[in-house]
Amino acid sequence: MRVQQRHIIYVQGYDPRGLAQYYRMFRTELRKFGRLYQLTTNVSRPQSAADGETASWTIETKGNDWQTRTSYDFLRWEDLIQRDLAAPIWHTVFQAMWIYWRLVFNGTIARFWRAHWRFATFISYPHFMLFNEALWTLGIAFAFGKGLEALGSPNLLSVVAALGVFVAVLGALLKYTENRTYLLYLLSDTIWTWQFSHRRRPEWDARIDRFARYLVDVARSSEAEEIVIVGHSSGSFLGVEILARALQLDPDIGRHGPRVVLLTIGGNFPIVGFHAVSRDFRDHLRLLAIEPSIDWIDCQSRKDVMNFFPFDPVAGHGIDLGADRRNPTIVPVRFREIIKPENYNLFRWKFFRVHFQFVMANERPHAYDFFMIVCGPVPLRERMARPEAALAVATGDDATREWAWKRLKMAATARPDAADLGEMEPSARRRG
């Protein structure tokens, strides 16, 4: 039952930084993980595929009485994302505004508010910020126009000049404050999500199809005990798309040998699924919800404003499958238990940092630990079914570890029960 070989397929969200920065972060966090649990870890350099769409590296991890080898695939989208961010500023602004107000009037934003007010606030933030900056810039332009009038300039010239100042100042403000506000990035994200939901991004769909074929090939040839598709942030719904399309290519993908598990973390499924036109996506959710050969774990955190919490990715989209439903298992995660108390008050207000905690090293040992999921000896399904035992494997003495492995062995043929999930966060336990 112990995992000696694991294959991770990591699906990033809408992040333009791409492979180089992600790998640096991964390597740094892996070292922190090793120090926290007193493990020996080694990671290879990334090797890019010939088509440039995937990169892979391996991790060797050694504990007291276990050793694992992990193959780690990083699916790349940064070329497509960087192309979006290279669009002219005003094209991005006007297109995002048109989409946002369309969502307001067709009721989609209201559905976001009902599902999760924090995420609705977050998705509305760039538009509030844009409105605020436009008001200040309008005041500057108005004062400039009045100044020209006081100097005897014709009214028409003053209006045209003021308009020019408004456009120039607001454009400069958007450009040169981007590193602090992320406003243009978030507007681009809004555009991309809407276009993807409406199937207006054929280059993304084509790449998803290629990744689905890649997953099928891995499932047929891998010697790993488990294959974990990790979807973080927007990668949650991209991961659903990849796995669902892989199942359509090969309905036996979960029966070839390696256990296939989908792990979605910090997900935001409704930004695609709440659109009326996203019938294909909701069909894919339905397919994964009833598929008996795979496991789907969805981890959520109340503290992360960029994921929906609490939210059932299936029932929340109006999909009722009755007794046929077996996925996902929903696992709440409390970051307060992962971050050191002296760091938590500062951590909690860094929203992007909170969002990325799902894929970063813990500061304190905990049942949810991304790098234990990637590198540890406990299979993911058993880790979520018996979190106290999984933690004991990492932190206990010899006798405690022996007890923990017995508990995990008992969980190998069972689904997580409510009592066990309650050990992570009793106030919000839910399961499919």
pLDDT single digits (tens) 273-287:
999 999 999 999 999
The answer to whether residues 303 and 272 touch, using CB atoms and an 8 Å cutoff, is no
DSSP lists the bridge partners of residue 259 as: 226
47: β partners: 56
Determine the pLDDT at residue 263: 98
Out of 227-236, 250-259, 342-351, 419-428, give the one with best mean pLDDT: 227-236
- For residues 319 and 285, give the distance between their C-alpha atoms in angstroms, rounded to a whole number: 9
Q: Hunting for tokens 């991209």 — which residue is that?
A: 238
426 DSSP 8-state letter: G
Place of tokens 């049942």: 367
**DSSP per residue, 283-324:** HHHHHHHH-TTEEEEEEE-TT-TTS-SS--TTGGGT---GGG
Q: Quote the strand ranges of 184-258, DSSP E.
A: 226-232
* Predicted pLDDT of residue 155: 87
pLDDT band at 415 (very low <50, low <70, confident <90, very high): low
**Closest Cα to residue 186, out of 239, 254, 129?**
129
Q: For residue 95, give the DSSP letter.
A: H
What is the mean pLDDT of the segment spanning 40-53?
A: 96
List phi, psi (to 5°) of 36: -60, -40
pLDDT computed for residue 424 by the predictor = 44
For residue 58, the cross-strand partners are 71
pLDDT at 300: 96
How, if at all, do strands 294-300 and 67-75 pair? unpaired
SS3 22: helix
Helix (H, G, I), strand (E, B) or coil at 154: coil
How far is it, in rounded angstroms, from Cα 326 to Cα 314? Answer: 11
Query: Nearest to residue 242, comparing CAs of 94, 53, 16?
Result: 53
- Using DSSP's 3-state secondary structure scheme, residue 226 falls into strand
Beta strand pairing status for 259-265 and 47-48? unpaired
Residue 318, Cβ density class (10 Å: 0-12 exposed, 13-18 middle, ≥19 buried) = exposed
**Position 421: which residue type?**
L
Q: Which CATH architecture has domain 5-79+206-428?
A: 3-Layer(aba) Sandwich (3.40)
Please give the average per-residue pLDDT across 61-76, as a whole number.
96
Residue 40 contacts residue 58 (beta carbons within 8 Å):
no
Contact 269, 116 (CB under 8 A): no
What pLDDT was estimated at residue 116? 86
- In the chain, where does the domain assigned CATH 3.40.50 lie? 5-79+206-428
Instruction: Inform me whether the pLDDT recorded for 411 exceeds 50.
Output: yes
What pLDDT was estimated at residue 275? 95
pLDDT of residue 418: 38
pLDDT in tens, 359-404: 999 999 999 999 999 999 999 999 999 999 999 999 999 999 999 9
Fill in the amino acid letter for 237. Answer: F
Mean per-residue pLDDT, 303-332: 94
Is a pLDDT exceeding 90 seen at residue 420? no
Rounded to 5, what percent of the chain is helix, strand, coil?
60, 15, 30
Number of H helices, E strands in the chain: 19, 9
pLDDT at 288 over 90: yes
Give this prediction's pTM: 0.91
Q: What does the mean pLDDT of the chain come to?
A: 92
| Mean per-residue pLDDT, 137-162 | 91
Position 432 pLDDT exceeds 50: no
Q: Are 230 and 191 in contact (CB under 8 A)?
A: no
Cα–Cα distance, 103 to 186 (Å, whole number): 16
Name the band, by pLDDT with cuts 50, 70 and 90, for residue 425. very low
Burial (Cβ within 10 Å: 0-12, 13-18, ≥19) of residue 42: exposed
